[in-house]
Amino acid sequence: MKFASEQMPAGTAAAPGPDCLQVRDLTAGYGGPPVISGISLGIEKGQVAVVAGPNGAGKSTLVKSIVGHLPCVSGSVTAGGVDITNHPAEKIARGGVGYVPQNDDVFTTLTVLENLEIGGYLLRKREVARRIDEVLEVFPDLARMRTRPVSRLSGGERKMVAIGRVLMLRPAVLILDEPTAGLAVQLTTELFERYIPALAGNGAGVLLVEQKATEALQAADWGYILVSGQVHVSEPASTILSRPDLGEVFLGGSTSLADHGSDGDADDDEEPPP
Ligand SMILES: Nc1ncnc2c1ncn2[C@@H]1O[C@H](COP(=O)(O)OP(=O)(O)O)[C@@H](O)[C@H]1O
Ligand SMILES: [Mg+2]
C-alpha cells in the first residue's frame, strides 16, 4: 500500500513521503474551549501506533480532526509529506488516509459486496472487482456472505465490512477508532494479532485508537496516551507495557497494566526518594 499523491487517481502507487502521517501541535474542538490541544504524533510506514487514554480524553476528536470531519483550530496534519490540514474529508480519503469510525461505519440495508463497491467508488469498474477480491482475501469469512445484507451480519462481521470498505482504496494510512468495541473476545484477538499486523506488513501505517490498551499495545510499535486532550505519554509500546505506573487509570479496563503489578494509582508520578 503506497501513498497516492493529490495528482494521481485514488489508490495509484506513488513514492511514499518521508513519513506516513505527521500531526504537529494540533488543537481542535467543537466551537467552545478546545477539546484537544498541542497534540503531536507520527506514524511510520509499516508501523502500528496506538492512541489510548480514558473515556472523554479526546481520542475520537483527534482522529476526526485528522481525517477532515472536524476543523483544526491550529497546528498541521501531513500525510506522505503532503499537507492535508483542514482539507475536505473526501479529498483526504482519496489522498490515502483511510478512516474507520467507531459507529455508523457500514450501510446496513446494503449487501457486503455493495458496501465494498461504495468503498471503491473512486475507482474504475474493473479495478473495483480486483480490489474486492483483495479485500475478501484479507477477510475470507466475508466471501461466503458477499450477497447478504449487512443487517444480517454479526457485530464482528460488520466491522470486517467496515474495514474492508476502507481498504478498497488501499490506504497508505489506516485510522481505526476503537474497532474492537462490542466485538467478541476471539475476533478482538484476531484483529490485534492477525489483521492489524498484516495491514502494517503490507506497508500501511496504522493508527489504532483503543480502550483495550494492553492488548493493542502488544500489537503496536509506538503508544500515545492521551489525557484531557493532551499527549501524556509518547513512548515505544514495549516501554509503556513495562511501566506499571501507567496502570488502570490511564489505560482503562480489567486487562490493563494492573496485570503488570500496578496498584492502580496512576496519578502518582512521583519517584521514590533516593
Ligand atoms: N459532537 C460533540 N460536540 C461537543 N462536544 C463533544 C462532541 N463530541 C465529543 N465531545 C466532547 O469532547 C470530549 C472528548 O470526546 P471524545 O473525543 O469523544 O473522547 P474519547 O474518544 O477519548 O472518548 C468530551 O468531553 C466530549 O463530551
Ligand atoms: Mg472515542
For the CA of 226, the nearest atom of ligand 1: 22
How would you label 102-141 residue by residue, b for 16+ Cβ within 10 Å and e otherwise?
Answer: beebbbeebbbbbbbbebbebbeeebbeebbeebbebbee
Instruction: Tell me what the mean pLDDT of segment 56-71 comes to.
Output: 97
Q: Which of 36, 59, 60, 231 maximizes ligand 1 atoms within 8 Å of its Cβ, making it the mutation to test the pocket?
A: 60
Is it the case that residue 252 has pLDDT exceeding 90? Answer: no
Please check whether residue 89 lies inside any domain of the structure: yes
Q: Which of 27-36, 118-127, 265-274 has the lowest mean pLDDT?
A: 265-274
Task: Name which of 170, 204, 193, 192 is nearest 44 in CA terms.
Answer: 204
Is it the case that residue 188 has pLDDT exceeding 60? Answer: yes
Is it the case that residue 2 has pLDDT exceeding 80? Answer: no
Is it the case that residue 158 has pLDDT exceeding 50? Answer: yes
**pLDDT at residue 269, rounded to an integer:** 38
Please check whether residue 223 lies inside any domain of the structure: yes
Structure-model confidence comparison of residues 244 and 120, the more confident one: 120
**pLDDT digits 0-9 by tens, 198-220:** 889 888 999 999 988 889 999 99
Please check whether residue 274 lies inside any domain of the structure: no
Please check whether residue 108 lies inside any domain of the structure: yes
On whether both 29 and 141 belong to a single domain, the answer is no
**pLDDT digits 0-9 by tens, 8-61:** 334 433 333 447 999 999 999 999 999 999 999 999 999 999 999 989 999 999
On whether both 105 and 149 belong to a single domain, the answer is yes
On whether both 154 and 223 belong to a single domain, the answer is no
Percent of the chain with pLDDT over 70: 83
On whether both 185 and 91 belong to a single domain, the answer is yes
Residues 178/250/187/221 CA torsion (nearest 10 deg): 90
Is it the case that residue 253 has pLDDT exceeding 60? Answer: no
Please check whether residue 10 lies inside any domain of the structure: no
Domain span including residue 203: 16-96+171-237
CA of 253 to the centre of ligand 1 (A): 19
Q: What is the mean pLDDT of the chain?
A: 84
On whether both 75 and 175 belong to a single domain, the answer is yes
Query: pTM of the full predicted structure?
Result: 0.85
Concatenated DSSP letters of the chain: --PPPTTS-TT------S-SEEEEEEEE-SSSS-SEEEEEEEE-TT-EEEEE--TTSSHHHHHHHHTTSS-EEEEEEEETTEE-TT--HHHHHHTTEEEE-SSS-S-TTSBHHHHHHHHTTTS-HHHHHHHHHHHHHHSHHHHTTTTSBGGGS-HHHHHHHHHHHHHTT--SEEEEESTTTT--HHHHHHIIIIIHHHHHHTT-EEEEE-SSHHHHHHT-SEEEEEETTEEEEEEEHHHHHT-GGGHHHHH-STTSGGGGT--S-TT--PPPP-
In the numeric block, the cell 502500528 is attached to: 48
Ligand 1: list residues with CB < 6 Å: 30, 35, 53, 55-61
Instruction: Tell me what the mean pLDDT of segment 238-245 comes to.
Output: 87
On whether both 145 and 34 belong to a single domain, the answer is no
CA of 58 to the centre of ligand 2 (A): 7
Please check whether residue 159 lies inside any domain of the structure: yes
On whether both 29 and 50 belong to a single domain, the answer is yes
Atom 16, ligand 1: residue with shortest CA distance: 58
pLDDT band at 181 (very low <50, low <70, confident <90, very high): confident
| Residue 20 backbone zone (phi > 0: left; psi -120 to 50: alpha; other: beta) | alpha
On whether both 89 and 191 belong to a single domain, the answer is yes
Is it the case that residue 130 has pLDDT exceeding 90? Answer: yes
Which among 140, 170, 200 is the end of a domain?
A: 170
Q: Which of 1-5, 81-85, 106-110, 131-135 has the lowest mean pLDDT?
A: 1-5
Atom 18, ligand 1: residue with shortest CA distance: 60
Shortest-distance ligand to the CA of residue 33: 1
Instruction: Return the top range by mean pLDDT from 9-13, 24-28, 91-95, 134-138.
Output: 24-28
On whether both 31 and 85 belong to a single domain, the answer is yes
Q: How many domains does the chain have?
A: 2
CA of 253 to the centre of ligand 2 (A): 15
Shortest-distance ligand to the CA of residue 32: 1
Atom 27, ligand 1: residue with shortest CA distance: 56
For the CA of 209, the nearest atom of ligand 1: 21
Is it the case that residue 70 has pLDDT exceeding 50? Answer: yes
Q: Which of 27, 30, 55, 228 maximizes ligand 1 atoms within 8 Å of its Cβ, making it the mutation to test the pocket?
A: 30
On whether both 157 and 176 belong to a single domain, the answer is no
Please check whether residue 30 lies inside any domain of the structure: yes
Percent of the chain with pLDDT over 90: 65
Question: What distance in Å separates the CA atoms of residue 62 and residue 58, rounded to the nearest whole number?
Answer: 6
**pLDDT at residue 208, rounded to an integer:** 97
